[in-house]
Amino acid sequence: MFTKDKKLIKECRHALAELFQTEIDTYIKLFFWEKEVSESKNKEALGVIEKAGLITKSNNGYYANVMVYPLKDKFIVTDFVFSVRYKKRIRVGRGYRELFVRKKDQVWAMLPHETPQIIKRLEVRKGDLVLDLATGSGAIALFCADKAEKVYGTDINPKAIEYAKFNAVLNNLEEKIEFRLGDLFSPVKNLKFDYIVWNGPTVAAPPVRNPEGTYALSDYGGPDGANFTRRFIDEVRNFIKKDFVIQWYDSCLGNRKKGVSVDYLIKKFKNEKYRVEIFHLNKNGGIPLVQTQKLFRKYRKKHPLAFANFKEVDRSEKEWLRWAKVNKLNYVHFAIIKITPNFNNRLEIVEKFPCKSIITANFIYKEWHYMKKYQIIRILKEEGTLND
Protein backbone atom coordinates (compact mmCIF):
# COMPACT_ATOMS: atom_id res chain seq x y z
CA MET A 1 0.00 0.00 0.00
CA PHE A 2 2.77 2.45 0.93
CA THR A 3 5.47 3.56 -1.46
CA LYS A 4 8.96 2.16 -0.89
CA ASP A 5 10.55 5.13 -2.64
CA LYS A 6 12.60 6.76 0.15
CA LYS A 7 12.81 10.07 -1.65
CA LEU A 8 9.03 10.21 -1.97
CA ILE A 9 8.55 9.22 1.67
CA LYS A 10 10.79 12.07 2.79
CA GLU A 11 8.88 14.45 0.51
CA CYS A 12 5.72 13.15 2.17
CA ARG A 13 7.07 14.25 5.55
CA HIS A 14 7.44 17.83 4.30
CA ALA A 15 3.93 17.66 2.82
CA LEU A 16 2.45 16.42 6.09
CA ALA A 17 4.24 19.16 8.03
CA GLU A 18 2.98 21.81 5.62
CA LEU A 19 -0.60 20.56 5.87
CA PHE A 20 -0.45 20.31 9.67
CA GLN A 21 1.09 23.74 10.15
CA THR A 22 -1.00 25.72 7.66
CA GLU A 23 -4.32 23.86 7.53
CA ILE A 24 -4.86 21.97 10.77
CA ASP A 25 -8.62 21.70 10.22
CA THR A 26 -7.99 19.71 7.03
CA TYR A 27 -5.38 17.59 8.80
CA ILE A 28 -7.81 16.70 11.61
CA LYS A 29 -10.63 15.91 9.19
CA LEU A 30 -8.40 13.51 7.25
CA PHE A 31 -6.24 11.81 9.87
CA PHE A 32 -8.34 11.97 13.06
CA TRP A 33 -12.00 11.99 11.94
CA GLU A 34 -11.48 10.04 8.68
CA LYS A 35 -13.67 12.48 6.75
CA GLU A 36 -13.35 13.21 3.06
CA VAL A 37 -11.76 16.56 2.22
CA SER A 38 -12.91 18.26 -0.97
CA GLU A 39 -11.26 21.65 -0.65
CA SER A 40 -7.74 22.56 0.43
CA LYS A 41 -5.17 25.28 -0.11
CA ASN A 42 -2.47 22.59 -0.05
CA LYS A 43 -3.38 20.57 -3.14
CA GLU A 44 0.26 20.03 -4.03
CA ALA A 45 0.98 18.64 -0.55
CA LEU A 46 -2.07 16.36 -0.78
CA GLY A 47 -0.81 15.10 -4.13
CA VAL A 48 2.50 14.05 -2.54
CA ILE A 49 0.73 12.39 0.40
CA GLU A 50 -1.48 10.51 -2.08
CA LYS A 51 1.53 9.26 -4.08
CA ALA A 52 3.03 7.97 -0.85
CA GLY A 53 -0.13 5.88 -0.26
CA LEU A 54 -1.47 7.58 2.87
CA ILE A 55 -4.58 9.02 1.25
CA THR A 56 -6.74 8.16 -1.76
CA LYS A 57 -8.28 10.53 -4.28
CA SER A 58 -11.98 10.10 -4.96
CA ASN A 59 -14.57 11.96 -7.00
CA ASN A 60 -15.39 14.08 -3.96
CA GLY A 61 -11.83 14.82 -2.87
CA TYR A 62 -9.44 12.85 -0.63
CA TYR A 63 -9.88 10.35 2.21
CA ALA A 64 -7.30 8.83 4.54
CA ASN A 65 -6.17 5.21 4.25
CA VAL A 66 -4.45 5.41 7.64
CA MET A 67 -4.16 7.63 10.67
CA VAL A 68 -1.09 9.88 10.75
CA TYR A 69 -0.47 10.98 14.31
CA PRO A 70 1.67 14.07 14.91
CA LEU A 71 3.68 13.73 18.12
CA LYS A 72 6.22 16.40 18.98
CA ASP A 73 8.57 16.53 15.97
CA LYS A 74 7.43 13.26 14.39
CA PHE A 75 4.63 11.88 12.21
CA ILE A 76 3.50 8.32 12.96
CA VAL A 77 1.46 6.25 10.52
CA THR A 78 -0.90 3.73 12.14
CA ASP A 79 -4.28 2.18 11.47
CA PHE A 80 -7.36 3.81 12.96
CA VAL A 81 -8.78 2.14 16.08
CA PHE A 82 -11.70 1.41 13.78
CA SER A 83 -12.48 2.71 10.31
CA VAL A 84 -15.76 4.43 9.51
CA ARG A 85 -15.30 3.26 5.93
CA TYR A 86 -15.59 -0.44 6.71
CA LYS A 87 -18.66 -2.00 8.32
CA LYS A 88 -20.41 -5.37 8.34
CA ARG A 89 -23.88 -6.60 9.27
CA ILE A 90 -24.21 -9.64 11.53
CA ARG A 91 -27.35 -11.48 12.55
CA VAL A 92 -28.17 -11.22 16.25
CA GLY A 93 -31.32 -13.12 17.28
CA ARG A 94 -34.06 -12.10 14.88
CA GLY A 95 -32.40 -8.88 13.81
CA TYR A 96 -29.10 -7.53 12.52
CA ARG A 97 -26.37 -5.43 14.05
CA GLU A 98 -24.09 -3.13 12.07
CA LEU A 99 -20.48 -3.27 13.29
CA PHE A 100 -17.32 -1.41 12.44
CA VAL A 101 -14.79 -3.89 11.08
CA ARG A 102 -11.55 -4.70 12.86
CA LYS A 103 -8.79 -6.73 11.24
CA LYS A 104 -6.46 -9.37 12.61
CA ASP A 105 -3.35 -7.54 11.44
CA GLN A 106 -4.39 -4.00 12.28
CA VAL A 107 -1.57 -1.83 13.57
CA TRP A 108 -2.42 -0.41 16.99
CA ALA A 109 -3.44 3.24 16.90
CA MET A 110 -1.91 6.08 18.90
CA LEU A 111 -4.14 6.85 21.89
CA PRO A 112 -3.28 9.67 24.33
CA HIS A 113 -3.39 7.50 27.46
CA GLU A 114 -1.06 4.79 26.10
CA THR A 115 2.04 5.05 23.90
CA PRO A 116 2.52 8.83 24.38
CA GLN A 117 2.62 8.22 28.14
CA ILE A 118 5.51 5.78 27.67
CA ILE A 119 7.30 8.13 25.30
CA LYS A 120 6.96 10.96 27.83
CA ARG A 121 8.74 8.82 30.43
CA LEU A 122 11.54 7.40 28.26
CA GLU A 123 14.99 7.63 29.86
CA VAL A 124 17.15 6.32 27.03
CA ARG A 125 20.78 7.31 27.42
CA LYS A 126 23.21 8.31 24.72
CA GLY A 127 24.87 5.19 23.35
CA ASP A 128 22.22 2.73 24.61
CA LEU A 129 21.34 -0.41 22.69
CA VAL A 130 17.54 -0.49 22.83
CA LEU A 131 14.87 -3.12 22.16
CA ASP A 132 11.27 -2.09 21.43
CA LEU A 133 9.21 -5.27 21.69
CA ALA A 134 5.80 -5.52 19.98
CA THR A 135 6.81 -2.35 18.18
CA GLY A 136 3.59 -1.95 16.14
CA SER A 137 3.91 1.32 14.23
CA GLY A 138 7.43 1.76 15.62
CA ALA A 139 6.42 4.92 17.52
CA ILE A 140 8.39 4.12 20.68
CA ALA A 141 11.41 3.02 18.66
CA LEU A 142 11.43 6.37 16.84
CA PHE A 143 11.74 8.35 20.07
CA CYS A 144 14.30 5.92 21.51
CA ALA A 145 16.42 6.46 18.39
CA ASP A 146 16.82 10.16 19.19
CA LYS A 147 19.45 9.21 21.80
CA ALA A 148 20.23 5.52 21.39
CA GLU A 149 23.20 4.15 19.52
CA LYS A 150 20.88 1.64 17.85
CA VAL A 151 17.30 0.43 18.28
CA TYR A 152 15.84 -2.96 17.40
CA GLY A 153 12.08 -3.21 16.96
CA THR A 154 10.34 -6.59 16.84
CA ASP A 155 6.77 -7.62 16.08
CA ILE A 156 4.91 -10.80 15.18
CA ASN A 157 2.76 -8.88 12.68
CA PRO A 158 4.28 -8.42 9.17
CA LYS A 159 2.01 -5.44 8.54
CA ALA A 160 3.33 -3.73 11.68
CA ILE A 161 6.90 -4.18 10.45
CA GLU A 162 5.90 -2.59 7.14
CA TYR A 163 4.39 0.42 8.92
CA ALA A 164 7.37 0.74 11.28
CA LYS A 165 9.89 0.72 8.43
CA PHE A 166 7.87 3.39 6.62
CA ASN A 167 7.76 5.53 9.78
CA ALA A 168 11.51 5.22 10.29
CA VAL A 169 12.15 6.61 6.80
CA LEU A 170 9.40 9.21 7.21
CA ASN A 171 11.19 10.55 10.31
CA ASN A 172 14.75 10.23 8.95
CA LEU A 173 15.71 7.54 11.48
CA GLU A 174 16.04 4.49 9.22
CA GLU A 175 19.82 4.31 9.77
CA LYS A 176 19.42 3.92 13.54
CA ILE A 177 16.57 1.39 13.73
CA GLU A 178 16.37 -2.21 12.58
CA PHE A 179 12.99 -3.92 12.53
CA ARG A 180 12.74 -7.72 12.72
CA LEU A 181 9.75 -10.02 12.35
CA GLY A 182 9.09 -12.57 15.07
CA ASP A 183 7.53 -13.38 18.44
CA LEU A 184 8.79 -11.75 21.63
CA PHE A 185 12.61 -12.16 21.92
CA SER A 186 13.07 -14.73 19.13
CA PRO A 187 14.33 -12.20 16.52
CA VAL A 188 17.08 -10.93 18.90
CA LYS A 189 18.00 -14.11 20.76
CA ASN A 190 21.78 -13.46 20.65
CA LEU A 191 21.67 -9.85 21.89
CA LYS A 192 21.64 -8.10 25.27
CA PHE A 193 20.26 -4.60 25.76
CA ASP A 194 20.72 -1.52 27.91
CA TYR A 195 17.06 -0.58 27.55
CA ILE A 196 13.99 -2.72 26.83
CA VAL A 197 10.58 -1.13 26.33
CA TRP A 198 7.19 -2.20 24.99
CA ASN A 199 3.47 -1.61 24.67
CA GLY A 200 2.04 -4.94 23.59
CA PRO A 201 -1.15 -7.04 23.63
CA THR A 202 -2.55 -6.55 27.14
CA VAL A 203 -6.31 -6.35 26.59
CA ALA A 204 -8.25 -8.60 28.97
CA ALA A 205 -11.07 -10.27 27.04
CA PRO A 206 -13.41 -13.29 27.17
CA PRO A 207 -11.59 -16.54 26.33
CA VAL A 208 -12.62 -18.31 23.11
CA ARG A 209 -11.59 -21.56 21.41
CA ASN A 210 -9.57 -19.77 18.76
CA PRO A 211 -8.26 -16.41 20.05
CA GLU A 212 -5.91 -16.02 17.05
CA GLY A 213 -8.93 -16.18 14.76
CA THR A 214 -11.04 -13.90 16.95
CA TYR A 215 -8.91 -11.03 18.27
CA ALA A 216 -6.35 -8.76 16.61
CA LEU A 217 -2.67 -9.63 17.09
CA SER A 218 -2.14 -6.26 18.79
CA ASP A 219 -4.89 -6.74 21.39
CA TYR A 220 -5.53 -10.01 23.16
CA GLY A 221 -3.67 -10.55 26.43
CA GLY A 222 -5.74 -13.48 27.65
CA PRO A 223 -8.62 -13.53 30.18
CA ASP A 224 -6.68 -11.38 32.67
CA GLY A 225 -4.68 -9.37 30.11
CA ALA A 226 -1.29 -10.64 31.30
CA ASN A 227 -0.42 -13.56 28.98
CA PHE A 228 2.20 -11.59 27.02
CA THR A 229 3.46 -9.88 30.19
CA ARG A 230 4.11 -13.18 31.96
CA ARG A 231 6.03 -14.51 28.97
CA PHE A 232 8.07 -11.31 28.92
CA ILE A 233 8.88 -11.54 32.65
CA ASP A 234 9.92 -15.18 32.23
CA GLU A 235 12.48 -14.37 29.53
CA VAL A 236 13.67 -10.79 29.96
CA ARG A 237 16.60 -11.52 32.31
CA ASN A 238 18.37 -13.32 29.47
CA PHE A 239 18.46 -10.12 27.40
CA ILE A 240 19.56 -7.36 29.78
CA LYS A 241 22.99 -5.92 30.49
CA LYS A 242 24.24 -5.23 34.01
CA ASP A 243 23.12 -1.59 34.05
CA PHE A 244 19.66 -1.87 32.48
CA VAL A 245 16.24 -0.26 32.25
CA ILE A 246 13.06 -2.23 31.55
CA GLN A 247 9.83 -0.33 30.91
CA TRP A 248 6.36 -1.21 29.67
CA TYR A 249 2.72 -0.15 29.55
CA ASP A 250 0.83 -2.49 31.85
CA SER A 251 -2.88 -3.22 31.54
CA CYS A 252 -4.51 -6.18 33.28
CA LEU A 253 -7.08 -7.34 35.79
CA GLY A 254 -6.34 -7.58 39.49
CA ASN A 255 -7.67 -7.05 42.98
CA ARG A 256 -8.08 -3.68 44.66
CA LYS A 257 -4.39 -3.39 45.55
CA LYS A 258 -2.50 -4.69 42.52
CA GLY A 259 -2.74 -6.20 39.06
CA VAL A 260 -1.94 -9.83 38.28
CA SER A 261 1.17 -8.82 36.34
CA VAL A 262 2.72 -7.14 39.38
CA ASP A 263 1.81 -10.15 41.50
CA TYR A 264 3.57 -12.41 38.98
CA LEU A 265 6.57 -10.08 38.77
CA ILE A 266 7.05 -10.18 42.55
CA LYS A 267 6.97 -13.98 42.59
CA LYS A 268 9.46 -14.29 39.72
CA PHE A 269 11.87 -11.56 40.86
CA LYS A 270 11.68 -12.07 44.64
CA ASN A 271 15.38 -12.99 44.82
CA GLU A 272 16.56 -10.27 42.41
CA LYS A 273 18.15 -6.96 43.38
CA TYR A 274 15.72 -4.85 41.37
CA ARG A 275 13.87 -1.60 41.92
CA VAL A 276 10.34 -1.77 40.48
CA GLU A 277 8.53 1.55 40.01
CA ILE A 278 4.82 1.43 39.25
CA PHE A 279 3.46 4.67 37.79
CA HIS A 280 -0.31 4.26 38.12
CA LEU A 281 -2.39 6.05 35.48
CA ASN A 282 -5.40 6.38 37.78
CA LYS A 283 -5.03 8.30 41.04
CA ASN A 284 -6.83 5.52 42.94
CA GLY A 285 -4.89 2.66 41.37
CA GLY A 286 -7.33 0.08 40.02
CA ILE A 287 -10.65 0.94 38.36
CA PRO A 288 -13.62 -1.30 39.30
CA LEU A 289 -14.24 -3.79 36.49
CA VAL A 290 -18.00 -3.28 36.81
CA GLN A 291 -17.56 0.37 35.74
CA THR A 292 -15.47 -0.31 32.67
CA GLN A 293 -17.55 -3.34 31.67
CA LYS A 294 -20.81 -1.39 31.71
CA LEU A 295 -19.39 1.22 29.33
CA PHE A 296 -17.58 -1.40 27.27
CA ARG A 297 -20.83 -3.29 26.54
CA LYS A 298 -22.43 -0.09 25.27
CA TYR A 299 -19.40 0.75 23.12
CA ARG A 300 -19.13 -2.79 21.74
CA LYS A 301 -22.58 -2.71 20.17
CA LYS A 302 -20.95 -0.94 17.24
CA HIS A 303 -17.22 -1.31 17.94
CA PRO A 304 -16.38 -4.94 18.73
CA LEU A 305 -13.08 -5.97 20.28
CA ALA A 306 -13.17 -9.09 18.11
CA PHE A 307 -12.86 -9.20 14.33
CA ALA A 308 -14.70 -12.56 14.09
CA ASN A 309 -16.65 -15.10 16.21
CA PHE A 310 -18.81 -12.32 17.68
CA LYS A 311 -21.46 -14.71 19.00
CA GLU A 312 -18.88 -16.85 20.80
CA VAL A 313 -17.42 -13.74 22.46
CA ASP A 314 -20.90 -12.70 23.61
CA ARG A 315 -21.61 -16.17 25.01
CA SER A 316 -18.24 -16.32 26.76
CA GLU A 317 -18.50 -12.94 28.41
CA LYS A 318 -20.85 -13.90 31.26
CA GLU A 319 -18.74 -16.92 32.22
CA TRP A 320 -15.60 -14.78 32.00
CA LEU A 321 -17.05 -12.18 34.38
CA ARG A 322 -18.07 -14.94 36.82
CA TRP A 323 -14.52 -16.33 36.64
CA ALA A 324 -13.09 -12.88 37.37
CA LYS A 325 -15.39 -12.46 40.38
CA VAL A 326 -14.57 -15.90 41.81
CA ASN A 327 -10.85 -15.16 41.48
CA LYS A 328 -11.29 -11.67 42.96
CA LEU A 329 -10.12 -9.96 39.79
CA ASN A 330 -12.61 -7.14 40.13
CA TYR A 331 -10.39 -4.23 39.11
CA VAL A 332 -8.64 -3.10 35.94
CA HIS A 333 -5.13 -1.71 36.42
CA PHE A 334 -3.29 0.67 34.09
CA ALA A 335 0.28 1.62 34.84
CA ILE A 336 3.73 2.15 33.39
CA ILE A 337 6.20 -0.20 35.04
CA LYS A 338 9.92 0.51 35.20
CA ILE A 339 12.59 -1.88 36.49
CA THR A 340 16.22 -0.98 37.20
CA PRO A 341 19.05 -2.48 39.29
CA ASN A 342 18.65 -1.80 43.01
CA PHE A 343 21.75 -0.89 44.98
CA ASN A 344 19.92 -1.69 48.23
CA ASN A 345 20.49 -5.35 47.35
CA ARG A 346 16.85 -6.43 47.47
CA LEU A 347 13.64 -6.36 45.47
CA GLU A 348 12.02 -3.00 46.10
CA ILE A 349 8.50 -2.01 44.95
CA VAL A 350 7.69 1.70 44.70
CA GLU A 351 4.21 2.90 43.73
CA LYS A 352 3.49 6.38 42.38
CA PHE A 353 0.05 7.92 41.79
CA PRO A 354 -0.88 10.95 39.67
CA CYS A 355 -2.66 13.92 41.25
CA LYS A 356 -5.17 13.73 38.40
CA SER A 357 -6.17 10.47 36.72
CA ILE A 358 -4.81 9.98 33.20
CA ILE A 359 -7.17 7.02 32.68
CA THR A 360 -10.69 6.86 34.11
CA ALA A 361 -13.52 4.37 33.57
CA ASN A 362 -14.80 6.18 30.48
CA PHE A 363 -11.45 6.04 28.64
CA ILE A 364 -12.98 3.75 26.00
CA TYR A 365 -14.97 6.71 24.69
CA LYS A 366 -11.88 8.87 24.25
CA GLU A 367 -11.47 7.84 20.64
CA TRP A 368 -10.50 10.31 17.93
CA HIS A 369 -13.60 9.94 15.72
CA TYR A 370 -15.77 11.16 18.61
CA MET A 371 -13.59 13.99 19.86
CA LYS A 372 -14.26 17.65 19.23
CA LYS A 373 -11.60 19.72 17.52
CA TYR A 374 -10.80 21.63 20.73
CA GLN A 375 -10.22 18.31 22.57
CA ILE A 376 -7.76 17.11 19.94
CA ILE A 377 -5.97 20.47 19.95
CA ARG A 378 -5.74 20.38 23.75
CA ILE A 379 -4.17 16.90 23.70
CA LEU A 380 -1.65 17.91 21.02
CA LYS A 381 -0.69 20.93 23.12
CA GLU A 382 -0.31 18.84 26.27
CA GLU A 383 1.96 16.44 24.37
CA GLY A 384 4.14 19.30 23.10
CA THR A 385 3.13 18.96 19.45
CA LEU A 386 1.38 22.32 19.27
CA ASN A 387 2.31 25.57 20.95
CA ASP A 388 -0.21 27.75 22.79
CB atoms within 10 A of CB 146: 16
pLDDT at 290: 86
CA atoms within 13 A on the CB side of 388: 1
Q: Going residue by residue through the chain (388 aa), what tens digit of pLDDT does each one get?
A: 799 999 999 999 999 999 999 999 999 999 999 999 988 888 999 999 999 999 999 888 999 999 999 999 999 999 998 888 888 777 766 777 788 888 999 999 999 999 999 999 999 999 999 999 999 999 999 999 999 999 999 999 999 999 999 999 999 999 999 999 999 999 999 999 999 999 999 999 999 999 999 999 999 999 999 999 999 999 999 999 999 999 999 999 999 999 999 999 999 999 999 999 999 999 999 999 888 877 777 777 778 888 888 888 888 988 999 999 999 999 999 999 999 999 888 999 999 999 999 988 876 657 899 899 999 999 999 999 998 7
pTM: 0.95
> Domain extents for the chain?
115-370
Residue 70 bridge partners (DSSP): 75
CATH of domain 115-370: 3.40.50.150
Q: Which helix (H) or strand (E) holds 193?
A: strand 193-198
Q: What is the pLDDT of residue 60?
A: 82
Please, are residues 62 and 50 in contact by the beta-carbon 8 Å criterion? yes
Which pLDDT score, from 0 to 100, does residue 84 have? 85
Secondary structure, 3-state, 8-59: HHHHHHHHHHHHHHHCHHHHHHHHCCCCCECCCCCHHHHHHHHHHCCEEEEC
